[in-house]
A and B are shown apart, each in its own frame.
Chain A
Amino acid sequence: MYQVEASKALLKPRLWARGASRLKVPRNVVMLGMVSLLTDVSSEMVATVLPMYLVFTLGASPLVFGAIDGTYRGAAAVVQVLSGFSSDRWRRHKEVAGLGYGLSAIGKVALVAAGNTIGGIGAIVAVDRVGKGIRTAPRDALISLSSAKDRLATSFGVHRAMDSVGAMLGPLIAFGILFAAPARFDAVFVVSTLFALLGLAVLFLNVEGKPRRAPRTGTPPRFRAALGLVKDRSFAPLLLAAGGLSLASVSDALIYVGLQRTIDFEPAVFPLLYVMTAVAFMALAIPAGQLADRIGKVPVLLGGHALLLVAYAVLLMTSVGYILLIVCLLALGGYFAATEGVITALAGAVLPESLQASGIGILITVVSLGRLVSSVAFGALWLELGLHEAVTIFAAGLLVAMAIAAPLLLRAQRTPAHG
């Protein structure tokens, strides 16, 4: 039955296109959303069953795998900046993104063919991570270059919403297959491969590589110009603000662990926390983008971080019931909806056309480094002072970061950058 649902998802472009025309979202953005949706179905299918597969088929302790995975996360950050710049330099955003999507698809094929050793799986996960690192910046640049400047946030909202639909469908399809054919992980991998290949096909057949805002003339940008963005008078304040905010943001995974310590709920409820946050994100991403295009991206970004403060506040309460739990998860989903795509949209509006992918690559790297530092700092504070004190410090830090970010973001928005 999940096969049928999956096939419906595939036939959806027309439906999406109709909805998109009401939202006035360029077709290219919807097609990029479709690519992400299909690719996310593919990778989430694998991510969902990989732990079971490892233990079931290989008899490996899953703890081994945690170590394998952590190793490649740093590499992805470096790849992002390089892939962003090269796609600007060659003016081939679509092809560079295609390389990233292609690597992930190859990883899925490799799983079918050779996913029966720990080392093999480690290598496949590494290839998948690198692929994700390569594709993100050029893909976001394509979304930006396909959209009018006053519709950027809506475009990113639509893309992120479609992306998360894929992330929700993936586990459902994987479980559906395993339900029909217990322990047949090969069937999951085969279907996952097909989704990855379809995603690639949509990219090459239906995505326009030179959208309307894409630069066609002039000399290609130099690497120095891309690096110069970090001291550009409008992009630098944006980087600073985004970096500061990410330093004060506790990752959702840590918030779930905090909730688990604060609330007595059945262990079986735990996976639902992710689902509820994802549903809220999916539902709110488009409205948040539209709002940002109407009233301004800066207030929506700051409002999103205020929602994160709500989630912190729930963690600080001594007794938390199910209603407050739901409030916390909705706030968390709203925070992602109001920040994830909106910050990239702001970058897209500020960056010169010739350096879109470079700038977005730098932004993503800064934000992910900020989150890494914040995770480690939060863990250390929790150990030294306790959960409540750590959350209190982060809440205070977030308020300060918001106060500093507000004028910086407004300044970034006022003065467009020059490559």
Chain B
Amino acid sequence: MDRRSGKILLVLAAVCLVVGGGYVAIAALGPSETTTDARPQATEVLSRTHVMVRAVDPKKPTLNGRVFVVDRGQVRQLPGDIACERVYYAGGEGLCLGVAPSGVDYEATTFDSRMQPQDKITLTGLPSRARVSEDGRYGAMTVFVSGDSYLQSPTAFSTRTTIVEMATGKQIAQLERFDVSKDGKPFDAVDFNFWGVTFAKDPNTFYATLGTGGEHYLVEGNVRDHSMRVLRTGVECPSLSPDNRQIAYKSRIGDSERWRLRVLDVATLKDHPVAEDRSIDDQVEWLDDDTLAYSDGTNVYTVPADGSGEAELLVRDATSPVRLNAGQELPGFAR
């Protein structure tokens, strides 16, 4: 390189270093948070509701939100530092997915009935779904990962779903490694993606979504056997009712990124829509055998499962509704 252009380049590099370094330094010194102190607000739609939610800051919906209990119209913040993007709690075990304190990656935290963090698991992608079996034995979490897509596009996404033993925080199974059958025959393809696990009363049985070749299958799986079988198509993010007789799910409209909520009968696989007529991208929760709760990203709504009535606002500025069963003790909250 000739001397003059070399000098110009050196000056440019120095300018870039000062500008870039300065910008980063100012950004680093400025306020940069990963957790919001936003509080949800309850409505009095269902006076008998006992539900755990994660608070959402409507202006910054992806900051980790604190965990609250909504108890007969009263909102109470649970103690401790637990804050998440997705939360679930059952059988005395909680699962919280969110941005790690570093702000660089994501982690899952298990917590107990005193809201004390137990184990931490580094996530390989962006949090999507979290569930815990009714007895608190297993947890399931789905994350979005980039980089291993069909046509090698670095920005395309696939999902990864892991089963966790809640007591130890160990990841005991990856759904991607399960054997899948369809119509009694082995079923496998390069673009298999699993998401949205829901556990049955026997926690070894679960339901989930298998996405492949543009189809979204409802699968029934077994944790112990590492096996799954396809039940039907057109079902995403299944959620079993407490009596295990119905599954609420989101049903994609054509090939779009829009969904309608529907409920199907596990025995007959027949389904019907519910009264919510907006597009909802959430894994629905059952408040009881007749009532659904779900979030549109900023508020929690409720609607009857049988298709009657209409959708009603339940909690403002909250997502991740979790049914709290009788006998579940939480600090400052006893039923």
Which A residues fall within an 8 A CB radius of B? 3, 6-7, 10-11, 13, 17, 27, 31, 47, 50-52, 55-57, 59, 61-66, 69-70, 73, 125, 175, 177-184, 186-187, 190-191, 194-195, 197-198, 201-202, 205-206, 251-254, 256-258, 260-261, 264, 266-268, 270-271, 274, 372, 375, 378-379, 382-383, 386-387
Nearest residue (CB) in B for A375 is B151
Residue B220 at the A interface, CB < 8 A?
Answer: no
B155 touches A50 (CB 8 A): yes
Interface residues of B in 1-22 (CB under 8 A from A): 1, 5-6, 8-10, 12-13, 16-17, 19-21
- Can you list, as one digit per residue, whether each of B14-34 has a CB less than 8 Å from chain A (1) or not (0)? 001101110110011010111
- Can you list, as one digit per residue, whether each of B100-133 has a CB less than 8 Å from chain A (1) or not (0)? 0011100000000000000000101110000000
Q: Which residues of B contact A256 (CB under 8 A)?
A: 148
A191 to B212, CA, bound (A): 38
Closest 4 CB pairs of A and B: A182-B103, A66-B156, A181-B27, A383-B189
Q: Which residues of B contact A179 (CB under 8 A)?
A: 102-104
A270 touches B145 (CB 8 A): yes
- Give me 16 A-to-B residue pairs in the complex whose CB atoms sit less than 8 angstroms apart, sorted by A's number: A3-B21, A3-B24, A10-B17, A63-B144, A65-B157, A66-B156, A66-B157, A175-B104, A178-B102, A178-B104, A183-B32, A260-B148, A260-B176, A270-B145, A274-B147, A379-B190
Nearest residue (CB) in A for B124 is A267
B124 touches A51 (CB 8 A): no
Q: A62-B144, A256-B148 are in contact. Are A379 and B17 (CB under 8 A)?
A: no
Count contacts on B: residues with CB < 8 A to the other chain: 61
A10 to B21, CA, bound (A): 14
Q: Which residues of B contact A378 (CB under 8 A)?
A: 190
CB distance from A61 to the nearest CB of B (A): 6
Nearest residue (CB) in B for A7 is B17
Instruction: Give the most central of A257, A260, A375: most B CB within 10 Å.
Output: A257
B33 touches A183 (CB 8 A): yes
Give the residue of A50, A65, A257, A375 whose beta carbon is less than 8 angstroms from that of B148.
A257
Residue B188 at the A interface, CB < 8 A?
Answer: yes
Instruction: Give the most central of B61, B148, B213: most A CB within 10 Å.
Output: B148
A372 touches B144 (CB 8 A): no
CB distance from B188 to the nearest CB of A (A): 6
Q: A51-B146, A69-B156, A261-B177 are in contact. Are A382 and B188 (CB under 8 A)?
A: yes
Nearest residue (CB) in B for A202 is B9
Which B residues fall within an 8 A CB radius of A? 1, 5-6, 8-10, 12-13, 16-17, 19-21, 23-24, 27-28, 30, 32-34, 61-62, 99, 102-104, 122, 124-126, 144-157, 160, 162, 171, 174, 176-177, 186, 188-191, 212-213, 257, 281, 297
Nearest residue (CB) in A for B29 is A181
B155 touches A180 (CB 8 A): no
Q: Which residues of A contact B171 (CB under 8 A)?
A: 266-267
Q: Which residues of A contact B23 (CB under 8 A)?
A: 187, 190-191
A181 to B33, CA, bound (A): 9
CB distance from A402 to the nearest CB of B (A): 22
Nearest residue (CB) in A for B56 is A59
A379 touches B150 (CB 8 A): yes
A96 to B268, CA, bound (A): 63
Q: Which residues of B contact A266 (CB under 8 A)?
A: 171
B174 touches A267 (CB 8 A): yes
Q: Which residues of A contact B10 (CB under 8 A)?
A: 11
Q: A13-B1, A51-B155, A206-B5 are in contact. Are A253 and B104 (CB under 8 A)?
A: no
B1 touches A386 (CB 8 A): no
A66 touches B149 (CB 8 A): yes
A375 touches B189 (CB 8 A): no
Q: A66-B149, A206-B5 are in contact. Are A194 and B155 (CB under 8 A)?
A: no
A198 touches B16 (CB 8 A): yes
A201 touches B152 (CB 8 A): no
A182 touches B297 (CB 8 A): no
B9 touches A253 (CB 8 A): no
Q: Which residues of B contact A6 (CB under 8 A)?
A: 17, 20
Q: A66-B157, A256-B148, A375-B150 are in contact. Are A186 and B13 (CB under 8 A)?
A: no
